[in-house]
Amino acid sequence: MPITSRMPLVLFLLIALACSGCSFTKDPQSYMRMPKLPDDKENLKQVIQQAMPAGASFIHPKNSSDPGSIYLKDLDKDGVPEAIVFYQTPDKDVRVKGMLWQKSGDSWKLLSEMEGEGYELDTLLFEDVTGDGVDDILVGYSGGARINKGLVVYHLVDRKLTILYQAPYTELVVDDLNQDNKKDISILTLERNVSAKMSTLQYDHGFQPVGSIALDPYVNGYSSVTAGFVAENKRGLLLDAGVGAHSSTTQLVYFDNGQLVKAFPDDKLPLSPRSAKSGDYNHDGIMEIPIDVAPQGSENAAYAVTPWITQYYRWDGRQGLGDTPLYERYYDYENSFYLDIPSEWRDRFSVQRSADGTRIAFVSSVTGETLADWKTMPADSWDASDPEWKEIGRTDKTVTALRLTENSKPLLGSFHPVLDLERQELSDHVNE
């Protein structure tokens, strides 16, 4: 990979490989901390803006839901904060640039600048991947959705940034995958229908490979790769990949006796008819693999109107999944709620829905009685004082309400806002 130096800036050329990758880990931002800005935030912002060229604008990582663009970190743990910011210069040859500032008395001093060839800032992580107590800056520059991205690892030495490592990637994650108490970088590269590989690197007088394994290249792209515990005291990566028009498969990669291995043969991957994102959804510390199934009576329904039930499985520790799901959920993202399905209902219910989809009922396939039913209506027609109905979901325009019966009243605590999942995920990201 050719690298051209222009002190103090570095031009990093991306390798253009045809691929179709998506987000990574719980998202690359799983490892980003967004510290609270100081009281003189506006002063810092003005100082940075004055140093930016005319026409430049702040940018933040592509896959981040955080709108912030100025990140405060005490990288070298000396008690003096640094500020990291990236900006875009669309009319320049180099589109993406970054700056590292350090607090100096009542003002800020520019320490180093960064630049990467590409159009977007794909990834920004702050992690001590060298093990020396200094947080390194991992930057992923992107030239677009259909070419591989470029990773640059910057290290702060004597108040200047140096480049420790750079490589093309499709997706990446920072973790301690081999559980040796040292951070590692796992890099996935995909050239669709040609090759796919996961490599794990650790720093030892330079970044050295500690594991590598071939993956299935016949996928649309890897929609998410999530790091975490996949069994008691065993960490791994769950790789969710899109296949076909709607379906997804999941592979599990982990270390076994010092070797990076796959849990599932490529021809026996867990398959879900809808896009899946693996993770620890029940917050028990071990991740699950979601698989969607059609409930009884809906097996032959059109894909778009099938009332999918999401079942969550755990790896069996060998080359398969557990015999039965740990739990099941029904998601209604359009109306912003989900239902934790009681375990005693499993395989004993059907789902009935009105032609317009505004009325849904879960019906026992044993007794034929209605277990729960709800309706969605315009928000301005909702009567919260009606004792027969209880709100379980709300959007800007609609309210979904559960009909209160002897069967459904015990379920009130099983309906949750979809926003709760997003809040929990954000909390997990901040606390990691």
- Reported in sequence order, the residue ranges of 52-192 that DSSP labels E, i.e. its strands, are 57-59, 70-73, 82-88, 96-104, 107-116, 120-127, 136-142, 149-157, 160-169, 171-175, 184-191
The end-to-end CA distance of the chain, in Å, is 33
* Encoded tokens for 37: 């800005």
List the beta strands (DSSP E) in 257-305: 259-262, 271-272, 289-293
**Is 310 exposed, middle or buried (CB count within 10 Å of its CB: 0-12, 13-18, 19+)?**
buried
pTM, two decimals, is 0.84
Closest CA to 357 of 379, 377, 328, 381: 377
Calculate the CA 296 to chain-centre distance.
Answer: 32
Contact present, 252 and 234 (Cβ < 8 Å)? no
Tell whether the torsion through CA atoms of 125, 131, 133 and 136 is positive or negative. Answer: negative
Q: What whole-number distance in Å separates Cα of residue 129 and Cα of residue 132?
A: 8
pLDDT tens for the chain, 432 residues long, are 333 333 333 333 333 333 333 334 333 333 333 344 445 677 899 999 999 998 899 999 887 666 678 999 999 998 989 999 999 987 777 789 999 999 888 889 999 999 887 888 999 999 999 999 999 999 999 886 656 799 999 999 988 999 999 999 999 999 999 999 999 999 999 999 999 999 999 999 999 999 999 999 999 999 999 999 999 999 999 999 999 999 999 999 999 999 999 999 999 999 999 999 999 999 999 999 999 999 999 999 999 999 999 999 999 998 899 999 999 999 999 999 999 999 999 999 999 999 888 999 999 999 999 999 999 999 999 999 999 999 999 999 999 999 999 999 999 999 999 987 766 565 554 444
Query: Rounded to whole angstroms, how far apart are CA atoms 114 and 302?
Result: 51
List, in sequence order, every residue forming a beta bridge with 398; answer none if it has no partner: 378
CB 124 within 8 A of CB 34: no
**365 touches 350 (CB < 8 A):** yes
Specify the pairing of strand 184-191 against strand 349-353. unpaired
**N residues, the chain:** 432
d(CA 111, CA 104): 11
DSSP assignments along 190-221, one per residue: EETTTEEEEEEEEESSSEEEEEEEE----SSE
| Cβ 174 vs Cβ 185: under 8 Å | yes
What gap in Å lies between CA 399 and CA 377, rounded to an integer?
Answer: 6
pLDDT of residue 23: 36
Residues linked to residue 368 through DSSP beta bridges, in sequence order: none
> Within 13 Å and on the Cβ side, how many CA atoms surround 314?
18
- For 412, list phi and psi in degrees, rounded to 5: -55, -35
pLDDT value of residue 217: 95
What region, left, alpha or beta, does residue 95 occupy, with left being phi > 0 and alpha being psi -120 to 50 degrees?
alpha
